[in-house]
Amino acid sequence: MAEILVLVEHVDGNVKKVTLELLTKARQLGEPSAVFAGSGFENAKAKLAEYGAAKVYVADDPELEQYVAAPKAELLAQLVAEKSPALVLVPATIDGKEVGARLAVKTGSGLITDAVDLVTGDGGFVAEQSIFGGSTVVHSKVTKGTPIVAMRPNSTAPEASGGEAAEEKVSITISDGAKKAAIKDRVIEQKGGRPELTEASIVVSGGRGVGSADNMKLVEDLADALGAAVGASRAVTDAGWYPHQNQVGQTGKTVSPQLYVAVGISGAIQHRAGMQTSKTIVAVNKDAEAPIFELADFGVVGDLFQVVPQLTEQVKSRKG
């Protein structure tokens, strides 16, 4: 079976959901070998085994996590040279895409980003992408080198399988050239137990209609009742009512959850580009002409300050 490298995204060994999705996808295409960079492997091992990693290449040099993207790209390049894998999978996250980008240059390989599916076709892997804000579906192939594919979170349902997760230590000497962008501090601005925006299966987003930073609490309350992540339109992040990191849209994040609830969002093309591939869309807006209703599976024309608190109470009581 062809070996497929899967770059593990984790925080101190707590493996992100997208990694489990990538391992699941890799099992459909070949034999997954997880690549674990940094500290905390003991915490990650069981999870990687559960989702079918046959092997895990472990490089626990702390310097791998102290510089932006470059050290991990060197690690992957070393493994590509030593193991000649059929494919390298990285998550289509900020870090994952940048590591993939550097690896592509290092190995002279093609990189496909934001794939939503990947299958084996005639003469290689065929990736599906949803481009131009979800309006066009394309199938692409890598034609040079070892294919590198960055898969979007939420594009494969993670399924447990059971693998050996046989540990193979990798020693790496990080070059001085890879130590030029030093991470001096990591500042956490948003604490709390909400799921991450791009990984969440439900997203509740607030738009201009919410009216103020304080009123975003209505959106948060509904999100918490549903166990959802909180998103925001650009109008909201530009106004400073909510952090930029939560922006959904052309200049923010692209999400594709099972359920997207748009609260007070008109649905300008800028916003639609970031969410229109969501499986089910619910909209609440006072303007019956708002374009968001063209996308909505279920919409309510009404005052969000009446509808949303009622919805939150209903969700809470139904969930008991």
Partner 1 sequence: MNIVVCVKQVPDTWAEKKLDPADQTVDRKTVDNVMNELDEYAVEEALKLQESQGAEVTILTMGPDGATETIRKALSMGADKAVHVVDDALHGSCAVQTSEVLAKAISSLSPDLVFLGTESTDAGMSVMAAMLSERLGWPQLSNAGKVEVDGTTVKVQRLTDNGHDVVEGELPAIVSVVEKINEPRYPSFKGIMAAKKKPLETKSVADLGVDASSVGLAAATTAVADSTVRPPKAAGTVVKDEGDGGQKVAEFLASQKFI
Q: Which of the ranges 26-34, 41-49, 66-74, 79-87 carries the binding residues for partner 1, by CB under 8 A?
A: 66-74
Q: Encode 90-128: b = buried (16+ Cβ within 10 Å), e = exposed.
A: bbbbeebbbbbbbbbebbebbbbbbbbbbeeeeeebbbe
Q: Given CA atoms 135, 139, 143, 148 in this order, what sign does their dihedral have? A: positive
CB of 61 to partner 1, least distance (A): 19
217 binds partner 1 (CB under 8 A): no
According to CB under 8 A, which residues from 285 to 304 bind partner 1?
A: 288, 293-303
Nearest CA among 72, 62, 83, 110 for reference residue 5: 83
Q: Which of 139, 168, 169, 212 binds partner 1 (CB under 8 A)?
A: 139
Residues 144-183 that bind partner 1 (CB under 8 A): 144-145, 177, 180-183
Positions in 227-246 near partner 1 (CB under 8 A) = 237-238, 244-245
Q: Tell me how far apart the alpha carbons of residues 6 and 123 are, in angstroms, rounded to a whole number.
A: 21
Mask: binding to partner 1, 188-207, rule CB under 8 A, as x and -? Answer: xxxx----xxx---x-----
- Total number of residues that touch partner 1 (CB under 8 A): 97
Asked if 224 touches partner 1 (CB under 8 A), the answer is: no
Sorted by sequence, the CB contacts under 8 Å of residue 152 that are 6+ apart come out as 92, 114, 115, 116, 198, 254, 256
Binding partner 1 (rule: CB under 8 A), the pick from 42, 136, 193, 214 is 136
DSSP bridge pairs for 284: 263, 300
| Residue 189 C-alpha from the chain's centroid | 19
**C-alpha angle with apex 296: 293 to 298, nearest 5 degrees?**
105
Decide: is 138 part of the binding site for partner 1 (CB under 8 A): yes
Q: Is 186 in the site for partner 1 (CB under 8 A)?
A: yes
Asked if residue 135 binds partner 1 (CB under 8 A), the reply is yes
What is the nearest approach in angstroms of partner 1 to the Cβ of residue 152? 11
Q: x-or-dash pattern for partner 1, window 84-113, by CB under 8 A?
A: ---------xx--xxxxxx-xxx-xxxxxx
